[in-house]
Structure 1
Amino acid sequence: MNLQDAMYNWLSIKVVADKRPDDQAAQDTRTFFEEILTEDHHISLLEVKSNHDYYIVHYHKDELKEIKKFPIELIDALLTSIQSEPKYNE
């Protein structure tokens, strides 16, 4: 999995896991993608900020500081989908 996809997936599930702390599947999936980022892509010091339109991920890759921006609407789509599905909200 390339870095862009891994970070997109991690951030999407992180948003879900943060909003649903009792959802063990979300917590486990976040951990899975964090392991991909750290072990496969050598990412450390992940920090997420947001503005009106974007989530901005600050991170270190091989000791270099980098940033990636993701549209809030795309990242929040997973959370919206989960929240609108009754079987996930019992």
Structure 2
Amino acid sequence: MKSVQDALYNWLTIHIVAKARPHDAAARDTASFFRAILENDFGVTAVDAVKDETNGQYIVEYVRGGETRAACFPLELAEAMWRQIEAEPEKYG
């Protein structure tokens, strides 16, 4: 990953899938993989996402360098992978 923003986005998209599909071990494992990238490559020690439907975005709060920070991602973009999986589950086993 080139930036913490990219890593946060990748984590968020699969985090959404993993939360919506708790039985999906691959989604959980992939979310853990991106969480490890955030920790190991970017020094992120905590990360969480909140859906803000009023403003049409996800707010990802994270701690980096002892500082709490936030990044915002449009709902439509962040949920695209989950919506695709739900629309065509046979493609995603």
Shared fold, TM over 0.5: yes
Report the residue type matching 2:52 in the other structure: N
Deviations 1:9-39 (A, max 9, x none): 1000000000101111101100000000011
TM-score computed with the length of structure 2 as normaliser: 0.89
- Alignment coverage as a number of residue pairs: 90
Q: 4+ residue runs of structure 1 moved beyond 6 angstroms?
A: none
Aligned partner of residue 60 in structure 1, secondary structure: strand
Q: CA RMSD in A?
A: 1.4
After TM superposition, the structure 1 stretch with the greater mean CA deviation from structure 2, 48-57 or 12-21, is 48-57
TM-score computed with the length of structure 1 as normaliser: 0.92
CA pair 60-82 structure 1, distance change in 2 beyond 3 A: same
Uncovered stretches (5+) of structure 1, i.e. residues with no partner: none
Aligned partner of residue 77 in structure 2, secondary structure: helix
Uncovered stretches (5+) of structure 2, i.e. residues with no partner: none
Report the residue type matching 2:25 in the other structure: Q
1:59 lines up with 2:62 in the alignment: yes
Question: Any conservation in 2 of the 1:8–1:70 contact (CA below 8 Å)?
Answer: yes
1:87 lines up with 2:90 in the alignment: yes
What percent of counterpart residues are identical? Answer: 39
